[in-house]
Structures are given as C-alpha cells and as structure tokens.
Amino acid sequence: MASCNKKNILDAQAIAEKDPFSTRNNIRVTAAYADGSGEGELTITPECLNPRGAVHGGCLATLANAVSGWVAGAVQHCNSATASYTLNFLRPAMGTSRKIRCRAAPVKLGRTLCVYHVVLLDDADTVVASGDFTYFMLSLIHI
C-alpha cells in the first residue's frame, strides 16, 4: 500500500489519549487516510513474547483489531465495535524485530458495518499474519 501520497486524516495523539489500552500495550495508530486505509505499529517488548521468543498471537490480534477499528471509526466519523474477525498467522513474528506494522484496507465501508483486510509485517517487510475484521458502526465521535 503506497501511502506516502495520501492525506492523513487522523490525529494519532488524540487516539492515544482516548485508548489507554493500546497505549499500555505499545500499539500506536499512525495514520488513517481519506480512502479508508490506515496504518499502525506494535513496539515489541519482552512482555510481548511467548516462551519460544515469538510475538504472542494475542498481541498480533490486538494490533490488527486496534488499527483497523480506529481507522474505520475515523473514516466513518463514529465509534466502532468489533463484530467478528479472522486472523491467519502465516509465520512466527520473532522478537528479533523491533516493530510489527499493520496495514488496514477497507473491503466495505457501510453505514452500519465496515469490513477491513489487514496485513501484519515485521522489520524485514515479511508478512507474518493477515486477516479480516468486521465492525459495527456506532455513535458519532469527534477525533
């Protein structure tokens, strides 16, 4: 996803202030674009790793959910709640990476439901997971 020419419509600092869970778990939404796509990242710490030294699957799922959910809400100007998701773990995200990046792209931007496809990449730009998230669109918010 070539995002350097897209206008960022999201204030990442405003999200951090409204989402202490993601902040506490080292997840940062970095961009949301007018086309509905967005990006974010997980800074890997020792607490993110499972006993084998790979990033725990729950951390990857939380990253994908936080990024795609915030982007959906920012683009649609409302709160969102996760309705369902499927995340495929394609290879281990080893703790040797410093960050895992998430790219979220809309499949459907509807009034009541939004569907996003996510791709998670390590520092070497290797895809470690991908999946689809569906969100209920709720009340109007101000981001």
pLDDT in tens, 3-40: 445 666 666 567 767 888 888 999 999 888 889 899 99
pLDDT for 4: 43
Average pLDDT over all residues of the chain: 88
pLDDT for 12: 59
**CA pseudo-torsion sign 66, 112, 107, 38:** negative
pLDDT for 42: 97
pLDDT for 107: 98
pLDDT in tens, 92-119: 999 788 999 999 999 999 989 999 999 9
How many C-beta neighbours within 10 Å does residue 109 have?
A: 15
- Prediction pTM value: 0.89
Task: Return the half-sphere exposure (C-beta side, CA atoms, 13 A cut-off) of residue 47.
Answer: 5
